[in-house]
Structure 1
Amino acid sequence: MEHDAPQPAPAMRPAVQETYGPADLAAERIFAGGFINFGHWQGVDLSRPLDEADRIRSQQDLYRRVLDALRLPDAARILEVGCGLGMGCALALAEYGAAAVTGLDIHPAQLRRAREAHAGTLRREPGRLRFVHGAAEHLPLDDREFDAVVSVEAAQHFPDLAAFAAETFRVLRPGGRAAVTSFFTPDDSPGRPEDLADLLVTFADGLDLARPVGDLARAFTAAGLTGVRAESVGADVWPGWDLWLSRWWGPDTWPRNFRHAWERGLLDYYVVTAERPGP
């Protein structure tokens, strides 16, 4: 399962290339603060009107939820797969005492934006933060290089979860941990992809892929990772996300159908954790 030479990255899927390339998605008001995720809203008061500070906190808190699940060692070396603008990488450096953080993304435009956004840190602290080009299925990184692999709301784009799991195993040191958060179907009941495509444009146009969370859990296990656990956090994601969207989108418009999909049991949000056995 381990190998020395990284393999060439697969071609980017067209929907991913289009969504994250021509315009900076992180500049949209719904993704305030440079993050691109739905947010973890447990710490936000949803009984009052939401503001931009609430939105930014929700996105930071999603990263904190994932990083807390890793039980990081001191001076950890962390890889984020699908790093976008690298805001989560910066949070890990600032709040979790990481020795070094690597952000990887398949989209060159996102990496350019990340390097621009964090130019000061890259200049002041060489070696602590870097951004590299690559795909989740073919990581151009060394065997056993990292204490932790994280991925925040990117796995819904990965075409091959088995290859991602195998690469995660390869780059983790023995005893290292992985934590992935994203949205998946809760099971493999027939018709899930079609139902989601009827509700949500991102599934209809192929940007988001409808896979059961069990597919990722089984891929981690098959790759050799142990202690695999999938925990639903949908109750802390979907209501807050929907309330935030309500500032711009009316009821029953397609972006607000994420909550409808969750309420109908078609889709949920999960944190999936696993460990590479050691020593």
Structure 2
Amino acid sequence: MTQETSPQERRDLMYGEQDLSSLTIFSGSFINYGYWSDVDPDRPITVDERTESQAEMYRRVVSRLEPGLGERLLELGCGIGVGAALVAREFGVMVTGVDRSDEQLERARRVNAEAIAELADRLTFQKGSVTELPSADNAVEGVYAVEMLQHVDDLAQTAREVQRVLRPGGRFATAAFFAPDAVEPSLSELIETIGPGIDVIRPVGEFAADLSEAGLEDVEVDPIGEHVWPYFDRWVAQTEYADSWGRNWLRCYENGWIDYYIVTA
């Protein structure tokens, strides 16, 4: 990959051709750091527990939408779509997963073929950008995203698109990592994906302001790092990435430079 490769091209490669979900730091075709409750510290974390932590992150986010049966939801950056399938099945809603990657959408339709057949029109996938959503105005009751907004260069435009597609009274929820305050410059040295722009770290208050300025109301920011970073670090320590930069997430969290949030509006 050349120096001239843009951050978006790097993201497209990572999530497309390279299939990030195949790495052992993830499992079950999910791609998130997981929402963890108590895990016995005296034994290794199992693959089933790792997978369940990622499924639980979806439940925690979508439950903030308080969706009613049959309501229509959009998932931004759905990836392989196992989270969208979980949401459609467990919450009894209609979910359209939106992703910009043809490779990811092909995987989503293949991996979730059984769920698509079972759920009929309650689970669909569509190509599109989060800054130009492929939905009409006032089309859905809820929009959510799980650990993908750190890959978006224009969060203000994303907020405007969320506001546009939501029906009156609709809700938005996301899980993502942000800086609690000003961005610490050394983050780009400690986290390999920040320097080349694959992950963009912003103050969480900046994104909350984007949502408010787009016309969304009742914006709430809930830090959940205690349920993410210590457990994720334990999991990484069990993999072949034990000596990698991935262990620096916990260090950054403990130094107050980064945290994980559920943001709703």
Shorter-normalised TM-score: what interval? over 0.9
- 1:84 is aligned, of 66, 79, 82, to 79
Contact 2:7–2:198 (8 Å) recurs in 1: no
TM-score, normalisation: structure 2: 0.94
Match of 1:66 among 38, 50, 61: 61
CA distance in 2, matches of 1:258, 1:46: 19
Larger mean CA deviation between 22-31 and 107-116 belongs to 22-31
For 1:271 and 1:35, the matched residues in 2 are separated by 18
> Aligned match of 2:251 in 247, 260, 268?
260
* 1:104 aligns with one of 76, 98, 105: 98
Check 1:170–1:250 CA distance in 2 against 1; reply closer, same or farther (3 A cut): closer
Deviation by residue 1:11-42 (Cα, 9 ceiling, x = unmatched): 98122112112222212222110000000011
2:158 to 161, 164, 167: 164
What's the counterpart of residue 233 of structure 1?
A: 224
Q: Spell out, residue by residue over 1:78-120, the C-alpha distance to the aligned partner (whole angstroms, 9 max, x if none).
A: 110010111111111121111x100001111111110111122
| Contact 2:178–2:259 (8 Å) recurs in 1 | yes
Which ranges of structure 1 fall in alignment gaps of 5 or more residues?
1-10, 275-279
Structure 2 counterpart of 1:140: 134
State how 1:107-186 maps to structure 2 within 5 Å: 107-186=101-180
Structure-2 change in CA distance of 1:150 and 1:45 (3 Å): farther
Deviations 1:211-248 (A, max 9, x none): 11112100110011100001100000000100000012
Helix, strand or coil at the partner of 1:266: coil
TM-superposed deviation, 1:47: 4.1
- The one-letter code sitting in structure 2 at the alignment partner of 1:197 is S
Correspondence 1:30 to 2:25: yes
For the structure 1 residues 83 and 43, does the alpha-carbon distance in structure 2 shift closer, same or farther, using more than 3 Å as the test? Answer: farther
**Structure 1 CA distance, aligned partners of 2:252 and 2:264?**
24
CA distance in 2 between partners of 1:207 and 1:87 (Å): 23
Mapped to 1, the partners of 2:15 and 2:264 lie a distance apart of 27
Q: Does 1:187 align with 2:171?
A: no
Match of 1:48 in 2: 43
Distance in 1 between residues matched to 2:61 and 2:213, nearest whole Å: 22
AA aligned to 2:86 is L
SS state at 1:269 partner = strand
Q: For 1:204, what is the secondary structure of its paired residue?
A: coil
Alignment deviations for residues 182-236 of structure 1 (CA, whole Å, 9 cap, x no partner): 00111125xx2x3111101011121100111112100110011100001100000
Query: How many angstroms apart in 2 are the aligned matches of 1:88 and 1:268?
Result: 22
- The residue matched to 2:145 in structure 1 has which SS? strand
- Which whole-Å CA distance do the structure 2 matches of 1:240 and 1:91 have between them? 22
Deviates more, 1:87-96 or 1:121-130: 121-130
User: How big is the shift at 1:126?
Assistant: 3.0
Secondary structure in structure 1 of the residue aligned to 2:25: helix
Structure 2: distance between partners of 1:124 and 1:244: 33
Q: Is the 8 A contact 1:80 1:103 kept in 2?
A: yes
3-state SS, counterpart of residue 29 of structure 1: coil
Deviation string 1:233-276 (CA, Å, 9 cap, x unpaired) is 000000010000001257663010000110111110000000xx
SS of equivalent to 1:227: coil
Residues 29-38 or 242-251, more deviating: 242-251
Write the distance in 2 (CA, Å) between the matches of 1:250 and 1:223.
Answer: 40
